[in-house]
Amino acid sequence: MQKKPRNPDNFEIELDAQLCFAIYGAAHAFTRTYKPLLEPLGLTYPQYLVMIALWEEDDQPVKAIGDRLGLDSGTLSPLLKRLEQSGLVARKRDRDDERQVRISLTAKGGELRHQATGVAQAIGKAVGCSFDEAVTLRDELIALKQRLIKAGE
């Protein structure tokens, strides 16, 4: 894969686009790998992320979950309603600040954590690289994300 100078009359995908495309593809590959593992739990991948956030710390406001996952209320409101309908979480207004809706795990939602342990193991196997490699890649991606966010002010 050689790098040629940009030539508007002889277009090639630039490295930046290749990198972006590689991330795009890897992200989709991840969600596709998670899908069959999460299906028995009745969760989609973004719902699983929300459950992880709640397993780490129960009874959080929507805003806190959104900050953690980088999602806004337009995404979370319907998603949380579906989790509520599945009987995994409860939604109640904070008494001290009635603007906030606090999300808490139901007994069923808390127990799902045990069924989910197999998921991480299966993913670890599918990732198929060493611990150190995974750490490095994770940190590079986090750094890249930070630079992109910073570049966008």
Partner DNA sequence: CGCAATTCAATTGCGCACAATCTAATTACG
Partner DNA sequence: CGTAATTAGATTGTGCGCAATTGAATTGCG
Residue 15 amino acid letter: L
Distance CA 26, CA 75 (A): 22
Among the candidate windows 59-67, 86-94, 95-103, 114-122, which touches its own copies by CB under 8 A?
114-122
For residues 120 and 38, the answer to whether their CB atoms sit within 8 Å is no
Residues 63-92 within binding reach of DNA (CB under 7 A): 63, 66, 70-82, 91
Tokens in use for 148? 């992109």
CA distances from 115 to 45, 79, 100, 119, 132 (A): 15, 21, 30, 8, 27
- Give the nearest distance from C-beta 4 to DNA in angstroms: 28
Instruction: Report the interface residues with DNA, using CB under 7 A.
Output: 28, 31-32, 35, 44-47, 61-63, 66, 70-82, 91, 96-102
Instruction: Report the interface residues with its own copies, using CB under 8 A.
Output: 1, 3, 6, 8, 11-30, 32-34, 36, 49, 52, 55-56, 70, 113-114, 117, 120-121, 123-129, 131, 133-135, 137-138, 140-142, 144-145, 147-152
